[in-house]
Chains A and B, each alone.
Chain A
Amino acid sequence: MADLTIDRISKSFGKTRILRDVSLAVQDGEFLSLLGPSGCGKSTLLRIIAGLETRDAGSIAIGGRAVDALRPKARDVAMVFQSYALYPHYTVERNIALPLQMRRLSRWQRLPLVGRLLPGSRSARAEITTEVLGVARALEIEPLLGRKPGQLSGGQRQRVALGRAMVRRPAVFLMDEPLSNLDAKLRVQMRVEIKELQQRLGATIVYVTHDQSEAMTMSDRIAVMMAGEILQVGAPHDLYMSPVDRRVATFVGSPPINLLQAALAASGDVTVSGRCIGAIHDTGPARPLTLGIRPEVISVTQPSIKRLTARVRLIEHLGSDVLVHAAIDGQAHPVIARIASEPAHTVAAGQTIGLEASPGRILLFEADGRRLDARWRGTAQARPLERVS
């Protein structure tokens, strides 16, 4: 296992700039996700790390040594593809053994039939078989070794692809959305298995995905990418609680963060739809702001002049929680509040309700998307809540 350094990588395809000066450091033994929407360049970055794609500028280093001049097979990386890319005409055993055969047997030794008779061939092959068997047992696919990929289910193929990557014990594992072709239940199950595997092996993994819940549950750190740039790198919790950009805040978390249009006065007062909800220190000039409030931060209360009021449009029952969709006057989009189901059973569509949130949990974003890190004046505690009777 080794660490991975990505230093100012840029890449364009023709006139389109895919990656702009991307830098990232992955620690030895870390599970790092590259998270972002389709087209943001995450797969391209992964392929550049693997050596399948050339870069226009910048450098990649694995375990401290630069690999830019090296071909993929010399970089000591293994890759799990979205489509698994298993050789359909080889058995599972051959699929997993191939990387070892390519490296340890000479071309003559690899020849069918004849190759086995050459000196050294037998012991090398025996070694390979042992290692393949070990990997197959670890992944519980030993009974499948004699079959061909066409005879396997999606989940089984996925494990074979993992096995093929694992058997080489590479410095870095690269995974390109490996779970996206599986059904939802299998996906959740495989997430846990891959994470456990990583911890057992102490492997360094770079994991590309567009699924934020996948990234959040599996990663030590997440790098959020959009339009060829890394917006933020951090532990899942940090990304969730302290996003540096409105785009990161919207991408991470489900249901997505509520965004409210607000105005900041020179005095520091923050008003939403005409109602002042608080004031902050160190403001700067008066300007429009966007407030970001997570659904679980909002409490539903009695409507009152002192609070933000909204009209309930829709209630979603999730069993343990309830999602309340409510429209605030003057706001373009409805907000979603997540509340416990017990008190919520009295809230109904069409009702007018009041909304409350602890100021400490409200995020402020400038017009250009950057987060405004400011302290709220007054107490940081939530105001007492009154339940809807």
Chain B
Amino acid sequence: MAAVALAGPAFLLLFALVLLPCAAVFVIALTDWQLGARTLHFVGLDNFVELLSDPVFRRSFRNTLVFAGGVVPATLGAGLLVALLIEAGNSARAVYRAIHFLPFMATLAAMAVVWEALLHPTIGLVNQAFQALGLPTANWLRDEDTALAALAVISVWQNLGLAMVLFLAGLKAIPPDLYDAADIDGADEPIDRFATVTLPMLGPVGLFVLVIVALRVIETFDTVRILTEGGPAHASELLLHTLYVESFDFLRTGYGAAMAVVFLVIVTALTLLQAQLLDRRMHYQ
């Protein structure tokens, strides 16, 4: 039938390029395979057990949690603030919107190199400016205490535009009638309007933005690889980078596959959580 011919290629490729490889990852995680080796052995859950006690992985996992825990709220808060400010007035909206979205569009790898120049300890703009303002300076990317924070700032810088754009869409979807009703009911101070109408109506959007941004943040790789390679001493190690290093630098593919499984579980859990929460909220709207 025509339907089979039309859908066939896509589903065959889906099977070959997504589902089969996905299963393969699970299988490889149960082996001790090294990339390029001729043989492999099944080792059961040994890889996962090793993960639990591996200091690098544990550091990486903790870093990723801390990283996301800082970047996601900051991005959402700043994105919402910018979106609210842009919508609140009539002038220069398109200009502000374009400016704030620009970092999201710019190739991160290239901008990472720019940030490297900005954060250079002696000739970088950041340290020069901080010095002029009397603020403390540091070797941002090479200091154990600041490397992760520096990457976090870059991540907020890049993802703010995404959060802003999605919040803008959410704000536009709020019926203006509700604000009129609030005015007449007595909630006409900005803070009352925000609490009575804006924030509750943005609920579903906020949830959605949260998960989208969280997923992007957890998948951070480019900046780590280019700027710090996880260092110094794994201070800025993040999950996806660790996964890459184990699988393709150290060629410990069985072990790396175990990490991939952990990563997949986290991502899936987040996405399903969002679907569940959104579903429940929709029920009452």
Contact = CB atoms under 8 A, between A and B. Distances in A.
B90 to A, nearest CB: 13
A73 B186 contact: yes
A78 B200 contact: no
A65 B74 CA distance: 49
Interface string A238-258: 000000000000000000000
A50 B182 CA distance: 12
A99 B185 contact: yes
Interface in A61-90: 71-73, 77-79, 81, 83, 85-90
B12 interface: no
Contacts of B196: 87, 98
A79 B183 CA distance: 10
Q: Is the interface of B mostly helix, strand, loop or mixed?
A: helix
A119 to B, nearest CB: 22
Contacts of B177: 81, 83, 85
Contact of B184 (A78, A86, A151): A78
B181 A81 contact: yes
A148 B187 CA distance: 20
Contacts of B188: 71-73
A385 interface: no
Given A81-B180, A150-B284, A150-B285, A88 B201 contact: yes
Contact of B180 (A79, A87, A98, A164): A79
Interface in B169-185: 175, 177-178, 180-181, 183-185
Interface residues of B, number: 19
B184 A88 contact: no
Given A88-B285, A89-B200, A148-B284, A71 B183 contact: yes
A90 B199 CA distance: 13
Interface in B267-285: 284-285
A102 B185 contact: yes
B197 A87 contact: yes
Contacts of B184: 50, 52, 72-73, 77-79, 99
Contacts of A137: none
Contacts of B183: 51-52, 71-73
Nearest to A82: B177
Query: Which of B178, B181, B183 is most buried by chain A, counting CB atoms within 10 A of its CB?
Result: B181
Given A85-B177, A88-B285, A89-B285, 13 more contacts: A52-B183, A71-B188, A73-B185, A87-B178, A87-B197, A87-B200, A88-B201, A89-B201, A99-B184, A99-B185, A102-B185, A102-B186, A102-B192
Interface of A: 47, 50-52, 71-73, 77-79, 81, 83, 85-90, 98-99, 102-103, 148, 150-151, 164
- List the 5 closest A-B pairs by CB distance, nearest first: A102-B186, A85-B181, A85-B177, A89-B200, A73-B186
